[in-house]
Amino acid sequence: ETGTEYVEIPAVLRAIGTHCYIWVPDSWFSATEISGDAGSWNRNDNTLNGAQCAELARVFDGAYPLVTNVLGYENGGGPTGDGGVDGDNKIHIFAYDIGYDWFEADPEGNPQSSGVYGYFDSQDLMDYSDSNRCEMFYIDAHFTDQFPGAMYSTLVHEFQHMIHTESKTGS
């Protein structure tokens, strides 16, 4: 979603966890940035690499049982769940430049330092024409690259929205 307009963005599956898929479009992925050293990740280049995608999956997988133990499960989730809208028990996490605003620099030429870190769109759980028809939420690739610690909490925060939607609708 860009503002109020939905657009189609082709993405590639970059990592698979026990409880998630990490999707990143080519525009926000760097195959040349291959270091597994977390210290070299925040290059502030608005892209993620394979190690970062694997780390997102690892962190989400670690948080999943903790969050669901307290809040319950997402639509179709849990040991007896049917996989929800798409029949798959994994959550789809889509990383891209939310708002396409990374390039907006401040007067000193520094890249973006504030904006939307992530969101959950309950329409993805519906059978609408603009729906992804799966349990999915979105995170910002730039902030994931620049501030990975904050983005790990964003994973949990957006997952919480997904769970709360299920508890409200009971779909």
**Using one digit for the tens of pLDDT, what is the confidence trace for 3-52?**
567 788 899 999 999 999 999 999 989 887 655 555 455 556 778 999 99
| Predicted confidence (pLDDT) at residue 138 exceeds the cutoff of 80 | yes
The conformational region for residue 95 under phi > 0 = left, psi -120 to 50 = alpha, else beta, is beta
**Using one digit for the tens of pLDDT, what is the confidence trace for 111-124?**
655 678 999 999 99
Helix (H) or strand (E) run with residue 95 in it: strand 91-96
pTM (predicted TM-score): 0.86
